[in-house]
Chains A and B, each alone.
Chain A
Amino acid sequence: KAGVTQTPRYLIKTRGQQVTLSCSPISGHRSVSWYQQTPGQGLQFLFEYFSETQRNKGNFPGRFSGRQFSNSRSEMNVSTLELGDSALYLCASSPWAGQGARNEQFFGPGTRLTVL
């Protein structure tokens, strides 16, 4: 099976712009989560989608949003970019069925966003 893919791998934007990142989960996985990784804050959970519904959300401002499509592919959007949004954004998919025991998550290579 192909792993989790994320596009683009690298992105450079300027303050005030908006950006959309894409994630294709492993085939058959319906749960997709997004994380932000920075040197200062480490790995932080952004949100999780399951069957096109946001199930859980981390402590990030409303400028961060996401969605999931019927084929489980997911996108996250950051509007009005700030310098502090520069980070590695990781997407993870899981075979978890929406209830009961949590499965391990499989991570993509990430998108490195630089905000100038």
Chain B
Amino acid sequence: AQKVTQAQTEISVVEKEDVTLDCVYETRDTTYYLFWYKQPPSGELVFLIRRNSFDEQNEISGRYSWNFQKSTSSFNFTITASQVVDSAVYFCALELETGANSKLTFGKGITLSVRP
């Protein structure tokens, strides 16, 4: 069975600090997809990134960066120079490509608070 663990539940930082959100996943499949979503107070989940299991290159998008390591089954997300607008709940998710388990499995989410 597939599983996503976000061990951190709440993180509080001061603006301009860097913060890393951890994500560990479990699956026996060799083809899978990893995602990060942001849920601001408005409630709508906002897509941030999609990664397939064959692409271990790290990715940077502005202040956001992602570190995918298959050896440790981790897909961590770093926000550099955090801003108040980054305050939200962040979800890591896993999806298999085919079969009955082809559905998004979410972690419990990490509540990030960025203080001015």
Contacts and interface: CB of A to CB of B under 8 A. Distances in A.
Contact of B97 (A55, A92, A101, A107): A101
B107 to A, nearest CB: 8
A102 B108 contact: no
Interface residues of A, number: 26
Interface residues of B, number: 25
B97 A102 contact: yes
A75 B114 CA distance: 37
B106 interface: yes
B91 A43 contact: yes
Q: Which of B46, B96, B106 has the most CB of A within 10 A?
A: B106
Given A88-B43, A90-B45, A100-B97, A105 B109 contact: no
Interface of B: 33, 35, 37, 42-47, 50, 52, 91, 95-98, 100, 102-109
